Structure formats: structure tokens, C-alpha cells
Amino acid sequence: MTVMTKVKSSRKESEAIYNKTIPAGEGWMHELKKGQVIRIVDLEGNQAADTLFYDAESPEDHYSAVATIARQGNVYLTTGSTLVAESGKELLTIVADTCGRHDTIGGACSAQSNTVRYAHDKLSMHNCRDTFMLQLAHYKGEYLKRDLAPNINFFMNVPVTPEGGLQFADGISAPGCYVELESLCETTVLISNCPQLNNPCNAYNPTPIQVIIWDK
Ligand SMILES: [Zn+2]
């Protein structure tokens, strides 16, 4: 069982092979080779990075929240968590984490959930599901709507109450907090840098994130 474990990385940004800032509300999709390490940085703090992972060799096999939670016996992700696909294949392991807790059950915001949770006039607001769809549609032609799955919300705080309830709480991340994952196979990463303005997951002010990749 994992506990909140803050672990810093010794990797230097100057030695990275890839470095990109993803503006607030934008998406990103990229393939990792086996052994490569990706760092996702919450540049200004309190920013949810909605993320999905796919086995690049079998694109229909994606990250599974249920398999991951069951395998580690804990609903939160932090250093030591191994992300597992639907098939049971291990995709990535979290090797460093200065935030300490990431959500895997809150899911992504969508036009539909915005109208149900907030108000009907929120229907047209930018949302993570649309960002995911746009990225999938433009990526090599391998991915379709059916490849959307319950995602990880890095830097998002969704505590489970003693009664089993979920709360979308104010974030526990801070400027510069990061999570680092080592890819255990060829993995495709899909990120929506959440544009949500109706709940505290982005502190009502979506901000940029940074992705950095190192070779093994
Ligand atoms: Zn979102």
C-alpha cells in the first residue's frame, strides 16, 4: 500500500532530450520509449493535468484506474505507484513526486458534466474531454473515441471521505511541484492541461504545465 511519499529527482533539466511548456487549456500527445523518463511540472501550482497512457504497441490497451488501484491497494498515486493497463501490463512507474498525491478516480471534465454539475450555459465551455478527443483525432490515425478512458488527474486532490464519498478539494500542489514517471514499455502519453473554471481543481485560474523527457 502506498502512502503520501514526496521524493525529489536528481535529473537535470539541461540533460533532457525534450522540453515543452503546455499552455493552460491545451493538449499534448507524445510517445515514450522504454526506459525514458517524463517529468510533468505544475509550473504555477494548483493545476490539474488530466493524463492517459496507452501501450504504443497495442494502442487499444490503455491505463486502467481500477487495475492500478487494485494492484497497489490504494486510491492515490505517488512515488512507487505502478500504472497498469486494462490487460494487466505495467506501463509506467512513478519514480519521483514532490506533490505527494494524485487523483485517479475524479475523471475528466466534459461539456456534459459541466452542465450537470454547474449550469446549462456551461455547455460551450472548453473541457478536457474535448481536448482529449482533438489530440486523439490528430495522432497517427490510430485512436478513436472508444480509446477515451477514466484518466489520472496529476496534481489534483480528490480525497475519499471515511464514508467513501468523493470531494473535489482545493489542490495540495504548489508552484514547481512535479511528478516523474519511468516508462516500462513503449508508451503513448495523452495530456489535457485542464481548462476547468467552475471548481477549485485549477484554483479557478488554469495555468501552464511543463513536460520534460530524459533518455535512459
Ligand atoms: Zn478538465
Cα–Cα distance between 190 and 51 in angstroms, integer? Answer: 6
What would the pLDDT profile of 161-215 be if each residue is shown by its tens digit?
A: 899 898 877 778 899 999 999 999 999 999 999 987 777 667 778 899 999 999 9
Q: How far is CA 168 from the centre of its chain?
A: 16
Instruction: Kindly tell me if the per-residue pLDDT of 123 is higher than 90.
Output: no
Instruction: Kindly tell me if the per-residue pLDDT of 121 is higher than 90.
Output: no
Cα–Cα distance between 213 and 216 in angstroms, integer? Answer: 10
DSSP class per residue in 160-173:
BPTTS-B--PPP--
Q: How confident is the model at residue 53 (pLDDT cuts 50, 70, 90)?
A: very high
Tell me 205's DSSP state. Answer: S
Distance of CA 51 from the midpoint of ligand 1 (Å): 10
What would the pLDDT profile of 58-82 be if each residue is shown by its tens digit?
A: 999 999 999 999 999 999 999 999 9
What would the pLDDT profile of 91-112 be if each residue is shown by its tens digit?
A: 999 999 999 989 999 898 888 8
Cα–Cα distance between 46 and 102 in angstroms, integer? Answer: 12
Distance of CA 3 from the midpoint of ligand 1 (Å): 25
pLDDT of residue 191: 98
Cα–Cα distance between 72 and 82 in angstroms, integer? Answer: 8
pTM of the model: 0.93
**172: region left, alpha or beta (phi > 0 left; psi from -120 to 50 alpha):** alpha
Is 186 within 8 Å of 90 (Cβ atoms)?
no
Distance of CA 94 from the midpoint of ligand 1 (Å): 22
Distance of CA 169 from the midpoint of ligand 1 (Å): 14
In which element (H, E) is residue 112 found?
helix 111-117
Distance of CA 85 from the midpoint of ligand 1 (Å): 22
Distance of CA 66 from the midpoint of ligand 1 (Å): 20
pLDDT of residue 200: 67
- Report how far apart the first and last C-alpha atoms of the chain are (Å, whole number): 27
Distance of CA 216 from the midpoint of ligand 1 (Å): 31
pLDDT of residue 119: 76
In which element (H, E) is residue 213 found?
strand 209-214
Q: How far is CA 76 from the centre of its chain?
A: 12
Q: How confident is the model at residue 9 (pLDDT cuts 50, 70, 90)?
A: very high
Instruction: Kindly tell me if the per-residue pLDDT of 2 is higher than 70.
Output: no
Cα–Cα distance between 134 and 129 in angstroms, integer? Answer: 9
Tell me 80's DSSP state. Answer: T
Residue labelled with grid coordinates 476547468 = 196
Mean pLDDT of the 28-41 span: 98
Lookup: cell for 36: 525514458
Lookup: cell for 78: 505517488
- Residues of the chain with pLDDT > 70: what percent? 97
- For the chain, the average pLDDT equals 91
Q: What are phi and psi of 130, to 5 degrees?
A: -65, -40
Distance of CA 128 from the midpoint of ligand 1 (Å): 4
Q: What string of H, E and C letters represents the secondary structure of 175-202?
A: CCEEEEEEECCCEEEEEEECCCCCCHHH
